[in-house]
Structure 1
Amino acid sequence: MNQHKPVRYQHGFGNEFQGEAIPGALPAQNSPKVCPYGLYAEQLSGTAFTVPRKEQRRSWLYRIMPSVTHEPFHPHSFPNESLTADFSGGVITPNQLRWRPFPIPGEPGVDFVRGTTTLCGAGSAAMKDGFAIHVYACNTSMQDASFTNADGDYLIVPQFGALRILTEFGLLEVAPSEIAVIGRGMRFAVELLPGPSPDAASPSRPNSMDSVASQPASSQSLSRKDGGPSLAARGYILEVFSGHFQLPDLGPIGANGLAAPRDFQAPVAWYEDRAANFTTHHKFEGQLFSASQPFSPFNVVAWHGNYVPYKYDLRKFCPVNAVSFDHPDPSIFTVLTVPSSVPGVRSAMHTVHTWNTYVT
């Protein structure tokens, strides 16, 4: 996909969303005998069928070709030894650790899949317990390829480099100061977008939502030897093996504050109907597999449900802090959280620490 038109979104968190790229493509029932336009109905489940209704996560997709129409998966031709989803045999140390920024790959053709490296983690994807933290550094868009993570949900945090994420549900554009969440089992592809240099002065914190939306996306543009621009991107990924991300309870904060549900953005229906030698990358228990198929997997014409990818602008986070003395715990800066089996204990949390600096 090369055309870069403005991307539209639906707003909300955990909503029952729906969309159709062609009028009349969304049927009135989940799985009719014959879908409109001859589409195929598929359900993508994010939870077991029998969990309590308030915890159900699932979506119905209506696509041109079934998602199972591909050759058998086989181990990938480039085994990524730096990628893992099992930390039982990892290096254990009580020391504080930090890393220098990961360099952008010097060799050409490193996309999001090839450029992802595991940094640390705990637990195991096989046991559906724990998390992993990865770093991605890439210099090219994914071409005629998609990626599916069967191990857990991805929370993608761009450090620099604006991304356009193609999903079966639609498009997401994500830049530094924003995050994106891609659920387990969702197919997606990552394109790199041009933009201003990250060395440019950072804009001051906006005073309105309109000024937030109008700020330019940050990315890095390197120079090729032939003088032309070459895109690059780098960032972090928090992968959770159990459950899904939720908004934290507000408790005595009240009805408002922290991340507002209305500020989360989900895609609108979008599809492409084209023949191509497509490669489907699949991550399963930390190992990479691939399969070929003769068409684009982003062929969902209509869909509805509450298991969807989404993005959030961290500049819209409304922090709460002490105004007289002392220092509250960092949990008050929680954007998203993943509950564990122990009440009040979280498997993972994503927090944002913000402050305003006034110069007089």
Structure 2
Amino acid sequence: MPMLDLDYLPGFGNHLHSEATPGALPVGQNSPQRCPLGLYAELFSAAAFTAPREGNRRTWMYRRLPSVRAGAYEPYVQPHWCSGAAQGEWTAPEPHRWAPLPAQGGDFVDGLRTYAVNGDPDAQCGMAAHLYSADRSMADRALVNADGEMLLVPQEGRLLVRTELGRMVVAPGEIALVPRGMAFAVDVEGPSRGYVCENHGAPFRLPELGPIGSNGLAEPRHFLAPTAHAEADRPTELIKRQHGRLWRSRQAHTPFNVVAWAGNALPFKYDTARFMVINTVSFDHADPSIFTVLTSPTDTLGWANVDFVIFPPRWMVAENTFRPPWYHRNTMSEFMGLVTGQYDAKPEGFKPGGASLHNAYVPHGPDAEAFQAASNADLKPQKLDQTLAFMFETRWPLRPTAFAMNTPGLREATYADCWAPLTDASNAPA
């Protein structure tokens, strides 16, 4: 896997290239009429043609057959994949938490279960939070999501993500992102589970560092793009998501037939263990924005369509202060998941493979057990290890789906009871 150029994520100014067969990538104007090796040139545009240079993303693909060779489409039924606020349910302004997703069977497409939605994919705003459970590889199937890019967060089981531009092996602790409109398939080695953020808004990019300076958080050089890999031809069922619906067509060839490519509209993977944590060393508590890996901005500065935030292993070092997250109410809405270990604010109730939702201004924070332990802990440097939690944070309220709210044994109806043992500080001076 080539390392992405330093300017790739923040500015998209530089381009990468790769070829599976030497000589497949044109160099200059070799011929005015034909590509090398008789390949077809196809442009993949991930931005408007007239977007500013620093934000314009596109990739030239040189392939055995162009993607126009697709069969007629017919509706495909997968009732548990939802997108857009209209496919969610308004609920009472209270916190929600879900147990780990049970095995669903099937492949990645059929194993997706949507938990919460907002926005509108046709208006190119908002997101959808999914979990997947799969025990079968996609094999002779491929998925194209024209509604949004797909951020994959494996929790259990290693994935082989095959894309038009090449392959990526993605293990728990790593993430992968596939651009909107690019074909991909997910193969598994056994029962697998994880999370997906379907981003309908502006493409993910690195956040600005501001006063942090030039170093910190995720380094662009740690994001890896695949090398070109053209598969042998075989009949393929193409599943396409568009306008919040699924369609399928059958074609006689694979969409993974790109022999060479050059550009900056790319899939990539990232190992969260490489994230440089910035944390407090004095007092109070830093906002979770210091853990942002990727952001999808909106036209309002600082108000993200969705931020991808992680809580990785780190040293907890502070003086005279409470270590876990404070009790708070936030203008943003937070969908959280746990990949491994314990989350410091919910040491027992929040399980790997589970999820929680705290919508805008819904109070939340450490449960009673975490509060008592942190209030009485010896204030010395502490290593928070063997853990990885994350958050999809969005400016718009998230509506849970019928599956998330009504599946027996999934939603924890008594979640709010974790704060019940907190007592009134009646002896505090008035």
Query: TM-score, normalised to structure 1's length?
Result: 0.83
- Residues 27-66 of structure 1 deviation map (CA, whole Å, 9 limit, x = unaligned): 1259952000110000111111011111101101000011
| 1:171 matched to 2:167 | yes
- Residues 182-227 of structure 1 deviation map (CA, whole Å, 9 limit, x = unaligned): 000110011113xxxxxxxxxxxxxxxxxxxxxxxxxxxxxxxxxx
Within-5 A mapping of 1:296-307: 296-307=254-265
Within-5 A mapping of 1:99-110: 99-105=98-104, 110=106
| 1:333 matched to 2:291 | yes
For residues 319 and 135 of structure 1, the distance between their equivalents in structure 2, rounded to whole angstroms, comes to 26
| 1:125 matched to 2:121 | yes
* Structure 2 partner of 1:20: 19
Change (3 A) 1:89 1:35: closer
Decide whether the 8 Å contact of 2:3 with 2:221 is kept in 1: no
SS in 2 for 1:271: coil
Return 5+ residue gaps in structure 1 as ranges: 1-7, 194-230
* Structure 1 partner of 2:85: 87
Change (3 A) 1:358 1:244: closer
194, 199, 218: which one aligns with 1:259: 218
Shift of 1:347: 0.6
Shift of 1:117: 1.2
Worse-matched range after superposition: 133-142 or 349-358: 349-358
For residues 45 and 288 of structure 2, the distance between their equivalents in structure 1, rounded to whole angstroms, comes to 33
Within-5 A mapping of 1:30-179: 32-76=32-76, 79-88=77-86, 90-93=88-91, 94-105=93-104, 110-179=106-175
| 1:10 matched to 2:9 | no
Amino acid at match of 2:44: L
Within-5 A mapping of 1:183-202: 183-193=179-189
Decide whether the 8 Å contact of 1:44 with 1:58 is kept in 2: yes
Return 5+ residue gaps in structure 2 as ranges: 316-381, 385-430
Amino acid at match of 1:87: A
For residues 89 and 246 of structure 1, the distance between their equivalents in structure 2, rounded to whole angstroms, comes to 27
For residues 98 and 9 of structure 1, the distance between their equivalents in structure 2, rounded to whole angstroms, comes to 39
| 1:342 matched to 2:300 | yes
Within-5 A mapping of 1:312-327: 312-327=270-285
RCO higher in structure (CA 8 A, sep ≥6) = 1
SS in 2 for 1:165: strand
Worse-matched range after superposition: 316-325 or 14-23: 14-23
Shift of 1:71: 1.1
CA RMSD of aligned residues (A): 1.6
For residues 29 and 344 of structure 1, the distance between their equivalents in structure 2, rounded to whole angstroms, comes to 42
For residues 21 and 147 of structure 1, the distance between their equivalents in structure 2, rounded to whole angstroms, comes to 22
Amino acid at match of 1:59: T
SS in 1 for 2:295: strand
Task: Calculate percent identity across the aligned residue pairs.
Answer: 43
Structure (1 or 2) with the larger CA radius of gyration: 2
Decide whether the 8 Å contact of 1:84 with 1:285 is kept in 2: no
Decide whether the 8 Å contact of 1:135 with 1:235 is kept in 2: yes
- Residues 291-342 of structure 1 deviation map (CA, whole Å, 9 limit, x = unaligned): 1111111000000000000000000000111101110111011000000011
Shift of 1:143: 1.6
**Matched residue count:** 309
SS in 2 for 1:98: strand
After superposing on structure 2, the runs of 4+ consecutive aligned residues of structure 1 that deviate more than 6 Å are: none
Change (3 A) 1:154 1:89: closer
Amino acid at match of 2:303: V
For residues 235 and 89 of structure 2, the distance between their equivalents in structure 1, rounded to whole angstroms, comes to 40
* Structure 1 partner of 2:310: 352
SS in 2 for 1:239: strand
* Structure 1 partner of 2:388: none
Amino acid at match of 2:257: N
For residues 310 and 32 of structure 1, the distance between their equivalents in structure 2, rounded to whole angstroms, comes to 32
SS in 2 for 1:352: strand
